[in-house]
Chain A
Amino acid sequence: MVRKSSMLVAVALLVVMAFSAVAGASNDTLVIASGAEAVGLDPRLETDVPSFERINLINQALVQFATNMELEPALATEWTVSDDTMTLWFKLREGVKWHDGVPFTAEDVKYTYEWVLNPDNGALNMGLYADIEEIEVVNDHEVIFRLKNPNAFLMNNIARMPITPKHDGDRADFRQSPIGTGPYKFVSWTRDDRMILVANEEYWGGKPIIPNIVFRAIPENSTRLLAFEAGEVDIYQGGMVAQEIGRLEADPKYVVQRTPGTGYNYLGFNTKVGALSDVRVRQAVSHLINREGIVKNVLNGIGTPGIGPVSMSLPWFNENVVRYEYSIEKAQELLREAGYGPGEINLRLFTNENPDRMRIAEILQYECQRAGINVEVIIEEWGAYLARVQETDDFDIFILGWSGQLDPDRAMIRQFHTNGSNNYGKYSNERVDYLLDLGRTVPQESQESIDIYREAQEIVVREVPYGFINYTEEVGLHHPYIGNWEVHPYGAAAWQNAHLITKNK
């Protein structure tokens, strides 16, 4: 009797399960997948893309990057940069309210930046704003930034610092439940699972079309794609399963959007030690990077062969630089010129446990061997690897990438200036130093700025402190029932205009 009834219960359960299908969310909810959980939601403290994917819906900066990477108004409606790039003036949008109804004013701007610039607060990105000397509140809707040093590109950093409310920003759990001025309001967050946002009906940019947004953190790329195909996820950007892109693009059930990204991958050379201190040896190795092959076979076509440090979509990009086409003969010739015979150069190439980088390392090892250079590949855990590259010069070559290179200053000064904070290979060239310093003092929209950085690129590419491998590419994936969304070159900004997205399932 007992057995019979428990059987009945089991059957009933199964029937219920069978009929309550896991339907995707309704048109009222947009489900966005993300490759990692946010670390936190305080724009002053976070530095990672997954955090900013979410933050940029809740909090907003004075200006923001449009999908063509030009600055567009956000909390500021107008701005000017003085000719000496030392003074920035902003006119703030009127009538904007924080999610709790308090009006947004210039005091909030001043508060945010002073908080970031206070060393005791431990803001990781403090260095990006170190040139700011003081912030002057002219009136509720006007603010002036005065700088210590010229910095024509500070605007781009300002676009990456959403403003936080003065009246609420010091709340102990602000980082876990922020309020902002953006199109969506924070509701709840179960870490490693989901974050729920609801439309800000009074958003200055118009009432959001989809009332709810749910962010789901799915760390495994294959699972994320399967969840998308099963209809449990509506849309996501980044973290694609590269091998599947071809199939997804051919399938009318899905929409794949691609755009050049803002980063690049490179070989970093130790320019001070051993054979690589000779520019000809570095040029030879650069000739041994099979860029087309790597993009096609390792990256499955996501990305484009690397040329220099500045992204192709930026106006400063210089296409007239030396190109190192893949050629064993050219490499051997350069090695002979430098006085090295086959087998006379031994190099140690380091990388971390990133599968793409490990394959690139193996390919390079093979190509180098064909040209008579012995390369030992050493793979290290990320923390140990980073410590080696940043703290020691105990390496010949390393593989790393830069992301978010939104202007030529960011793409070059830390990397190639003699005193650059991230010049791990100790590259040094007086003319480059001069140009990179000069570039900061010239307004970024001017022709002079373009000329300065084009020359700097020419020298850097010729002297090869880096062997450029590839430019990155951003890929977005959504169902056809999603409309009015464009993949963003800068992944962190992917959802900043989510209030315009439509869903008609």
Chain B
Amino acid sequence: MFRYIIRRLIQMIPLLIGVSILVFLLGHLAPGDPVRMLLGEEATAEDVARLNAVYGFDKPLPVQYFRWFSRAIRGDMGQSIRQSIPVSKLIFERLGATIELAVVSVFIAIMLGIPLGLFASTRRGTFWDYITMVVSLIGVSMPGFWLGLVLLSYVALNVSWMPMFGRDASIIGGLVTLFTKFRGDELVSALRYILLPSVALGTSMMAIIARLTRSSMLEVLSKDYIRTAQAKGLKKSVVVIKHALRNALMPVITMVGIQFGAMLGGAVVTETVFAWPGVGRLVINAITQRDFPLVQGGVLMMALIFTVVNLLVDVAYAFVNPRIRYE
């Protein structure tokens, strides 16, 4: 297992280099350049030439890439062109908010999605099955943007303790004050602010999990060993939870892993609607502004997180399913 993980980690290096070259090329080949974006409508030819020289964009592309690469390999991701702040600082100051939002959303999605799927699968073909599936279909189809605005205008506007936007304390920080200073206000405030964004972000994932759990459960429940278990006279709940669910969860874990990785890369729409200070907004703005060092750093960070989460998912398989062994 240990060797497997090491091997996977080493494999990530060429992958990340590949990603960085790809991002670099795509950025530079797309029309529009950072200096023009800085200057906007008022750009003049002289200003463009002068600033290209200041930022080193007048050098050939391979030179620019290797200049960036040689610094990046030493951990220096460069500075944002637009804000003249180190890229790593910009990313790390937002990473906490993004991870927190992703974790809470996935938590909500799993906590509601799996029981819903289980509920529907054990009542196959009944009214309750149909209702659950229709609700989850709506959940999958609702655009996050729209759901966010609906939550704001119908829930937050009418519930006095529900904030409309932004983020206050972090949950981790809140837990720390709870246990060190025995004050819960910070934690409560953190939860209050994260509730609506995580519901908006987690709803479609919850719906997907519910549908996937249901179909996977239906497949497993028709297997021979389930019949054997039933024939042994085990309680229905034991058969469903212990024998069936554990096997049925494999595709769900895969899906959760992929979605979770994507969420850690930033949930741009949710972050925008709720003014949540996360990585997604940062990187999207960087792309529209052609802020190349920030785009490079941001995408590389996302690629890294994505591959690490994938690795974790593969490891999780081994725990859920003892038949899987990594050598």
Q: Which of A122-130, A438-446, A490-498 contacts B (4 or more CB under 8 A)?
A: A122-130
Task: Determine if B149 and A222 form an interchain contact, defined as CB atoms under 8 angstroms apart.
Answer: yes
Docked complex: B158-188 residues within 8 A CB-CB of A: 160-167, 184-185, 188
Pick the contact of A22: B153, B163, B167 (CB < 8 A): B163
A386 at the interface (CB under 8 A from B): yes
Given the interface pairs A16-B184, A220-B275, A232-B165, the reply to whether A386 lies near B54 with Cβ below 8 Å is: no
User: Is B222's CB within 8 Å of the partner chain A?
Assistant: no
The distance from the CB of B121 to the nearest CB of chain A, in whole angstroms, is 26
The reply to whether the CB of A1 lies closer than 8 angstroms to some CB of chain B is: no
Check if B60 is an interface residue, CB within 8 A of chain A: no
The reply to whether A47 and B38 form a contact with Cβ atoms under 8 Å apart is yes
Check B32–A387 contact: CB distance below 8 A: yes
Contact of A219 among B41, B50, B54, B272 (CB under 8 A): B272
The CA of A422 and the CA of B40, in the complex, are separated in Å by 11
A192 contacts B282, CB within 8 Å? yes
- Residues of A contacting B192 with CB < 8 Å? 17, 22
A232 to B166, CA, bound (A): 11
Q: Which of A28-70 contact B (CB under 8 A)?
A: 39-40, 45, 47
Give A189 Cβ to nearest chain B Cβ, in Å. Answer: 11
Binds B, one of A71-79, A144-152, A198-206, A223-231: A223-231
**In whole angstroms, how far apart are the Cα atoms of A223 and B148 in the complex?**
9
Q: Do B38 and A20 touch (CB < 8 A)?
A: no
The size bracket of the interface on B is: 35 or more
Interface-forming stretch among B77-85, B122-130, B206-214, B233-241? Answer: B77-85
Contact pick for B31, options A18, A22, A220, A388, CB 8 Å: A388
Q: Is the interface of B mostly helix, strand, loop or mixed?
A: helix
Alpha-carbon distance between A381 and B55 when the two chains are bound, in angstroms? 24
In the bound complex, how far is the Cα of B61 from the Cα of A54, in angstroms? 37
Q: Given A124-B51, A383-B31, is A232 in contact with B164 using a C-beta cutoff of 8 Å?
A: yes
Closest residue on chain A to residue B145 by CB atoms: A220
Contact (Cβ within 8 A) A218 B45? no
Min CB–CB distance A495 → chain B (angstroms): 19
Is the C-beta of B260 less than 8 angstroms from some C-beta in chain A? no
B188 contacts A386, C-beta separation under 8 Å: no
Once bound together, how far apart are the Cα atoms of A414 and B41, in whole Å? Answer: 11
Residue numbers in B under 8 Å from A250 (CB-CB): none
Q: Is A320 an interface residue (CB 8 A)?
A: no
Instruction: Indicate whether A226 sits within 8 Å of B82 (C-beta atoms), given known contacts A387-B32, A421-B45.
Output: no
CB neighbors of B among A383-413 (8 A): 383-388, 390, 400-402
* Given pairs A175-B83, A386-B41, A414-B42, 5 additional interface contacts (CB within 8 A): A47-B39, A193-B277, A216-B275, A223-B275, A422-B44
19 sampled A-B residue pairs with Cβ under 8 A: A13-B191, A19-B161, A22-B162, A22-B192, A39-B82, A124-B38, A127-B46, A176-B85, A192-B94, A192-B281, A193-B275, A223-B149, A223-B275, A224-B165, A226-B152, A227-B164, A383-B37, A386-B40, A402-B41
